[in-house]
Amino acid sequence: MPNLTAWSPRVLSILRIMTALLFMEHGLMKLFHFPAPQPGAPDPLPPMLVAAAAIEVVGGALLTLGLFTRITAFVCSGEMAVAYFIGHAPHGFYPALNMGEAAVLYCFVFLYLAFAGGGLWSLDAAVRKRP
């Protein structure tokens, strides 16, 4: 299906942008209660959650732009792995039951982006194109 293959770099960029915006929303909810407070997050936030929120906001912004995509995605993937094993895995083995599905999915999408890069519509690609 050559027509679909031709769109692969663009769809990669769309996946990156949408995932990053949703990820950034989690950090904004923790730090600024925007668009609403993060359900279940304590107030004030403990230092580990402040660090996680900072990674989510800064990492989400960088990934949305497609800037430093590979290293940023690797850091965000690691944060989600830590979040899963600290916040979800102690509540049971199955992600659907311990509410860890989103953390697992973010972890592996970011891991994929760390290897695939930002795609055609990214600042990383624009910088590479410059003579």
How does pLDDT run across 92-113, given as a tens digit for each residue?
Answer: 999 999 999 999 999 999 999 9
Determine if the pTM surpasses 0.75.
yes
Domain residue extents for the chain: 2-129
pLDDT of 1 higher than 80? no
pLDDT of 48 higher than 80? yes
Residue type, 6: A
Positive/negative CA dihedral, 58, 60, 66, 69: positive
Neighbours of 2 (CB within 10 A): 5
* Separation between Cα atoms, residue 36 and residue 19, nearest integer Å: 19
Cα 99 to Cα 24, 46, 125: the distances in Å are: 19, 21, 36
